[in-house]
Amino acid sequence: MKSYFLKLAQYNLWANSKIFAWLDQIDDTQWETKITSSFSSIRETATHIASAEKIWVDFWTKAMKPVYLSAQFSGSKTELIYIWQQASNDLKSFIENYQESELERPVSFIYPNGTEGQMKFWQTFSHIINHSTYHRGQLVTLLRSSGFTGLSSLDLATYYLTCGNLEEV
């Protein structure tokens, strides 16, 4: 299962890299424009994904003070992309070094509202990959709605067909 999770972590990094390139191409108006979706702008949606990837790595590594980035981020698009890239790389590195025998290990976490929860590691990992994929799909729609046309497929099948057999992304 670890090798499968590593492939998913590589896919996540690949798909996020495409998103980063697209976000680099939009202007501040597109970045901030209010559009009806789960989150009200490209900026808020991107911040949510970056925050979620970062917080799960923090929970896995038992960081002393995990912080939901989405609750406090006020930086630039460039700063957010940097944080998100680091979180995606950290996610992949964590999986590379994770012991398969620990997949059933419980992971404690804190919801944004402050309540505590616990799931098995494999469940949290599956969740974050699915979560990021879901919200990247929303970003595609938001980018389209803002007038951005330089999009391409982020499908897992596209990843497997184009670079899924590569050792590194």
pLDDT at 65: 86
Point out the residues of the chain with pLDDT beneath 50: 168-169
In this structure, what token pair is assigned to residue 164?
A: 């899924």
Domains of the chain: 2-162 (1.20.120.450)
User: In the block, which residue shows the tokens 């025998």?
Assistant: 101
3-state secondary structure of 1: coil
Query: Phi/psi at 80 (nearest 5 deg)?
Result: -65, -45
In this structure, what token pair is assigned to residue 151?
A: 């999009």
Residues in the chain: 169
pLDDT at 137: 96
The span from the CA of 40 to the CA of 142, in Å, is 9
